[in-house]
Amino acid sequence: MNGSDKLAEIFDQNPYMAVLIVDKANQVIYINKTYLRILGLSAEKVLGKQMLSITPATRTVKVISSGKAITAYNWNINGYQMIACAVPLFNETEIVGCFAYSISLNIWDSKALVEKLLSEINMLKEEVYKSHTAQYNFEDIVGKDKRFMHTKLLAEQVAHQIQTKVLITGETGTGKELFAHAIHNASARSLYPFVRVNCAAIPETLLEAELFGYEDGAFTGAKKGGKLGKFELANHGTIFLDEIGEMPLSMQSKLLVVLQEREIERLGGNRAIKLDVRVVSATHRNLQSMVEKGLFREDLYYRLNVVQVEVPALRQRKDDIRLLAEYLLGKLNQRLATAISGISKDAIEMLKQHAWPGNVRELENVMERAMSLAYMEKTNQLDLKHFTSIKKLSTTYSPGQKTLKILTQEFEQKVIAQVLEETGSNKVQATELLGIDLSSLYRKLKSHEIP
């Protein structure tokens, strides 16, 4: 008896382990008796067949295409609950197939406890996957404006240069985050995590621990066992540093070291951890101007700004408004469970006349409100009357009546009041549209006596 026959005999005699081997075309070349019993099939009906035709939910296809193992996942089939693993088989560097095995939970007396733990682990894995996966592709970025298409083409090209750092600039609401997601998904790093960090939303005292992680007992209140930082979570993938212009100077110097050395050291740790992470950053601020004012490190600016992708404002590509409105119509119909079929020419023309300080994000908010009104009126066509939230702001100047300072204050008051109305008094959303932080908004509300 040769080695392979002996191995097959061992597998066949194990009533708790289901074993399967497929070739690189995903055709079954070996299956043990336990797996056949679970499937309720004979060897003749399985051997040589496509695994997808036997179990459509098989992980073998993904393992063969990616060359990466999938381990310790919950596998339920024909009433059997198993813990399963699938690993690629190599002949030197070439993938030649996949070896998959599942272990029945019946081997444990504490089956109910294990089932509960597996369920919780799978839910946690799903949540982690969702939170660290890029959601958008270049197909989701809509526009035919010449300048916009040039921006999109540049982003598509740089996506394939997986080591190149990208700085995405543009006003609030232009879709900078969509570009970051699409760049990751179009790259060879797409199988690995996409981790977003909002530099403006994390307090300065916590930012270092969030980015670089910490060891057990690193500081008072530290989580037992320590915590992985965002850079470690993004290893082999992409870290997206949103609102990079809001990063404190003290953290900028530490980030610069990480970018130069390509390694991090956890808070409270004493060893360097090598990383392979692509850095994509975004800001609505003028970093060059901040450098000149000493608010942003010049050396960090040049490190981040290897390729700059500048997303134009919506007012600079008004011919795209009809296209965007129609795209948002379909997207929002799904979200709102509505069936609005179109938008009138007069409404489109009115939308083109608006200044759009909040850009595409503001257009989406306006469209959502208009569709809700149309739905309540039981009409399937958007018209001028459904866009009552759009108001024109007067900037007419009459010499001698008011000073420039007073006119500026009045204009600012009108803009803030309009944005608050459009966001339903959602101050966080209003700060994003206005491009200011929350403390500045509260200060301006008090100054202009806006309730």
Nearest Cα neighbor of 269 from 209, 325, 321, 347 is 209
Q: Is the per-residue pLDDT at 133 higher than 90?
A: no
pLDDT for 41-98, tens place per residue? 998 999 999 998 888 888 999 999 888 888 888 888 887 778 889 999 988 778 899 9
* Number of DSSP helices (H) and strands (E) in the chain, helices first: 18, 14
Query: Residue 444: is its pLDDT beyond 90?
Result: no
Q: Span 7-26, mean pLDDT? A: 80
Give me the residue spans of the domains in the chain.
Answer: 3-114, 138-310, 314-390, 393-451
Say whether pLDDT at 102 is over 90: no
Residue 416: what pLDDT? 85
pLDDT over 90 (residue 259): yes
pLDDT at site 38: 87
Alpha-carbon distance of 124 to 200, in angstroms, equals 27
Kindly report the number of other CB atoms within 10 A of residue 404's CB atom: 8
Question: Domain 314-390, what fold?
Answer: Helicase, Ruva Protein; domain 3 (1.10.8)
Q: What's residue 109's pLDDT? A: 44
Residue 196: band (very low, low, confident or very high) from pLDDT cuts 50, 70, 90? very high
Residue 120 scores a pLDDT above 70: no
Q: Are 244 and 199 in contact (CB under 8 A)?
A: yes
pLDDT at 161: 95
Alpha-carbon dihedral sign for residues 273, 274, 277, 282: positive
Nearest CA to 181 among 237, 225, 228? 237
DSSP letter for each residue of 124-146: HHHHHHHHTS----GGG-----H
CATH of domain 138-310: 3.40.50.300
Q: What is the pLDDT of residue 295?
A: 92
3.90.650.10, 3.20.20.140, 3.30.450.20, 3.40.190.10: CATH of 3-114: 3.30.450.20
The model's pTM = 0.62
Q: How much of the chain, in percent, has pLDDT values that exceed 90? A: 41
- pLDDT tens, position by position, 352-411: 988 888 899 999 999 999 998 888 888 889 998 888 777 544 444 455 556 767 777 778
The per-residue pLDDT for 146 is: 93
* Mean pLDDT taken over the chain: 85
pLDDT band, very low/low/confident/very high, at 231 (cuts 50, 70, 90) = very high
Q: Is residue 286's pLDDT more than 70?
A: yes
Distance CA 102, CA 73 (A): 9
Residue 121 scores a pLDDT above 70: no
Checking if the pLDDT of 111 tops 90, the result is no
pLDDT at 122 exceeding the cut of 70: no
Q: What is the pLDDT of residue 1?
A: 47
Query: Percentage of the chain surpassing pLDDT 70?
Result: 89
Domain 393-451 in CATH 1.10.10.60? The answer is: yes
Identify the pLDDT of residue 345.
92
Give pLDDT, residue 225: 74
